[in-house]
Structure 1
Amino acid sequence: MTGNSIKIAAVARFAVSCLLFVGFVFPVRAEEAGFRPDKVILEHISDAHDWHFFTVNNHPVVWHLPVILYVPKQGFTVFSSAKFEEGRVPYDGFQLLTEEYIQKYHLDPQKFLEGHIIAVHPDGSPNLDKPVYDLSLTRNVIQMMVAALLMILLFTKVARRYQEAPHRAPHGWQNAIEPIVLFIRDDVARAFLGEKADKYLPYLLTVFFFIWINALLGLIPGSANVPGNIAFTGVLALITLFFIVISSTRQYWGHILWPPDVPILVKIILIPVEILSFFTKPFALMIRLFANMLAGHLIIISILSLIFIFGGLAVAAGWGFSIVSVAFTVFMYFVELLVGFIQAYIFTSLSALFISQAFETGHHHGSEEEAVI
């Protein structure tokens, strides 16, 4: 029953997504002149200070998030992002960067990114001598909080059932969660970490479910693509690096800083390579997850944008191509459901592998490729 319920819920969620997209978005955007798919795609995959769900009859449904800024010697400033009016006006000495503002004041678009906040003079011109530290609760931050809350509620409920009836057969969410937990424990933690598996299992389970739940939430229309944000994947990679460092032994650093049984001349070449290899491990974790989770969303939005491009030529062409576009989107949607699970598994497996190398004697060259395969 639980498996059927999950399938029904997934199909229902996707059906509602299609209705929201076709019913709300297409009639508005198809009539707009100068549709820019690049801007729509970047807005979807980037972070923001407000949460735009959809648009109905040219009226956007937006949740304006709190802006929290810190300026040295001035302190904190807190206000709603609605004060910026989508970047059209400054507020309290701050400006939300837009494409028009960047072009007006000839700012470097590589350094001053759209959606960031800078200090401005009373006349609205940029005050580049005044540093601004943005600590706002952005769309990605809110969604990560939602994912964390879902994890706490889900696992607390499942754990309570095990405490109340430890010998009772699993039912409900226990049926869905227990096989995944056992899979991570047996095929990831114990396979790579051996006797120390139970020590690192809480972290491995947390990072797996946190990535997977955020990937699933990212498929809901109007949600944020959190795993496709390099800051998100970078922080997770740094946490894995922290576990590698605290788990490392003298032998591990000895193989890196002074490889044994190697001629002196070879050591001179090998030591920088080993040091570089130490830092490339978290870098590979970061880029692998970021690129794979970003690519799926780019493909989905690109395919959907073709409806608007054809609709700009002729409304009939837009509606006609929507059949093909939605069909491809359905296919990519279910592929992304699988990709989210696979990428969470790969990140967890490689984290366990790199941690195991830190306390085992010797290196395991080629183990990364074997683990992924």
Structure 2
Amino acid sequence: MKNIHRFLLIFFLALNVIPVFASGDEHAEPASQETHEKEKFEPGNFIMDHIADSYDWHVFSVGDFHATMPLPVIVYSQHSGFHMFMSSNFHHGHSAYEGFSIASEGEYRGKVVEMVNGHEVRPFDISMTKNVVAMLISMVILLWVFISVAKSYTRRKGKAPVGLQSFVEPIIIFIRDEIAKPAIGEKTYAKYMPYLLTIFFFIWLNNLMGMVPFLPGGANVTGNITITMVLALFTFVITSVNANKSYWKHIVNTPGVPWWLKFPVPLMPLVEVMGVFTKPFVLMVRLFANITAGHMIVLAFVSLIFIFGQISPGLGYGTSVVSVLFVVFMDMLELLVALIQAYVFTLLSALYFGMATEEHH
């Protein structure tokens, strides 16, 4: 346990020390006063840049100095082979490196592209982006929490829970008694408990970390549709693999439905088959849309300060009071949404498992 604590300490110190030495915007050209005056605030770009994934982790900005933590860029090109380098070589997206650059507009905006014969080509990209690093951090935190709790149970067998035990145990019991058992059944619920606990705590922790504006938070993990798609695919695969004969029979030949809805046009079987795929699709979109919408609303209120500030500095200061109040309110609401979305995803997954394993009556 001491080794785990030391690893976490070194890990987070590294995250906060590296930006100081490796992220100064030394290569950025100083902008003239006329450029600053003509440059207009674009709320759309401001919002999308903050909720999108990136190849570096912004820490803070002071004037033209941007402190960021560079992350590894790992790409494979069909034309030039395998490449691995730090994102600091892009100098905040202002320059190219080894033929690669970050697209500033178009279909691949914000992504690494390679210029081939004057055209932007997307290489095979397995880079360590901000969302990837944020997921690794959340996994380290979850491992630390549950390994600590497991060891505490071993040392204090038969005693009342203390510390992290007293926080985690009621949540685990709630998921077991209020989600798994009612939705799946008393006989088979234990088989799915590890997965249900994993997705609940993973989604909840990343939702909360996404609300923290500084390291190691600030990444929009659960607001990335590719990540929610993978989580939904896990539920889909587990449901399909563990489904019994009654489940598949119900899809192919739904009982209680008039024959003319099955023959000659298999209307109901088609609807049931579509339902198999729409269930994980709903899981994916619900989590993605709710988390992304919350971030966008908060950033929209922040954008109002700069929009009105361009009209008049006094108007910007006056708007800031109202905007900050709404941002605080939305953040309080997002704390509740973070928990609710983790609960809903876990509950729906348990319901799908129960539907797939329920015996025909």
Relative to the length of structure 1, the TM-score reads 0.82
Contact 2:305–2:319 (8 Å) recurs in 1: yes
CA–CA distance in 2 between the matches of 1:32 and 1:321? 22
Of the three residues 328, 331, 336, the one matched with 1:330 is: 328
- Please give the secondary structure, in 2, of the residue aligned with 1:35: coil
1:231 aligns with 2:226: yes
Task: Give 2:157's aligned residue.
Answer: 166
TM-superposed CA distance for 1:113, in Å, is 2.4
- Please give the secondary structure, in 2, of the residue aligned with 1:118: strand
Q: Which aligned pairs between 1:86-105 and structure 2 lie closer than 5 A? A: 86-99=92-105
**1:20-57 C-alpha deviation (Å, 9 max, x unpaired):** xxxxxxxxxx9884011111100111111111122113
CA–CA distance in 2 between the matches of 1:270 and 1:153? 48
Task: Give 2:5's aligned residue.
Answer: none
Task: Give the RMSD, CA atoms, in angstroms.
Answer: 1.8
Of the three residues 113, 121, 128, the one matched with 2:108 is: 113
1:192 aligns with 2:183: yes
Contact 1:33–1:312 (8 Å) recurs in 2: no
CA–CA distance in 1 between the matches of 2:80 and 2:303? 44
Q: Which runs of 4+ in 1 moved over 3 A?
A: 30-33, 72-75, 260-264
CA–CA distance in 2 between the matches of 1:357 and 1:32? 60
CA–CA distance in 1 between the matches of 2:37 and 2:203? 37
Q: Which aligned pairs between 1:40-119 and structure 2 lie closer than 5 A? A: 40-72=46-78, 74-99=80-105, 109=106, 112-119=107-114
Contact 2:184–2:357 (8 Å) recurs in 1: no
Q: Which aligned pairs between 1:140-159 and structure 2 lie closer than 5 A? A: 140-159=131-150
Task: Give 1:211's aligned residue.
Answer: 203
Task: Give 1:133's aligned residue.
Answer: 124
Contact 2:75–2:125 (8 Å) recurs in 1: yes
TM-superposed CA distance for 1:191, in Å, is 1.2
Task: Give 1:310's aligned residue.
Answer: 308
- Please give the secondary structure, in 1, of the residue aligned with 2:96: coil
CA–CA distance in 2 between the matches of 1:55 and 1:319? 20
TM-superposed CA distance for 1:174, in Å, is 1.4
Contact 2:72–2:87 (8 Å) recurs in 1: yes
1:342 aligns with 2:340: yes
**1:294-331 C-alpha deviation (Å, 9 max, x unpaired):** 11101100001111112212222222221111111111
Contact 1:255–1:362 (8 Å) recurs in 2: no
CA–CA distance in 1 between the matches of 2:95 and 2:289? 35
CA–CA distance in 2 between the matches of 1:177 and 1:278? 33
> Counterpart amino acid of 1:335?
L
- Please give the secondary structure, in 2, of the residue aligned with 1:120: strand
Task: Give 2:286's aligned residue.
Answer: 288
CA–CA distance in 1 between the matches of 2:358 and 2:298? 43
Corresponding residue pairs, total: 319
Q: Which aligned pairs between 1:230-249 and structure 2 lie closer than 5 A? A: 230-249=225-244
TM-superposed CA distance for 1:261, in Å, is 4.7
Go from structure 1 to structure 2 and tell me whether the alpha carbon gap of 1:334 and 1:135 turns closer, same or farther (over 3 Å shift).
Answer: same
CA–CA distance in 2 between the matches of 1:40 and 1:79? 27
CA–CA distance in 1 between the matches of 2:276 and 2:268? 12
CA–CA distance in 2 between the matches of 1:278 and 1:294? 26
CA–CA distance in 1 between the matches of 2:348 and 2:200? 11
- Please give the secondary structure, in 2, of the residue aligned with 1:48: coil
1:258 aligns with 2:253: yes
- Please give the secondary structure, in 1, of the residue aligned with 2:188: helix
Of the three residues 297, 307, 316, the one matched with 1:299 is: 297
Contact 2:43–2:300 (8 Å) recurs in 1: yes
Structure 2 unaligned blocks of 5 or more = 1-35
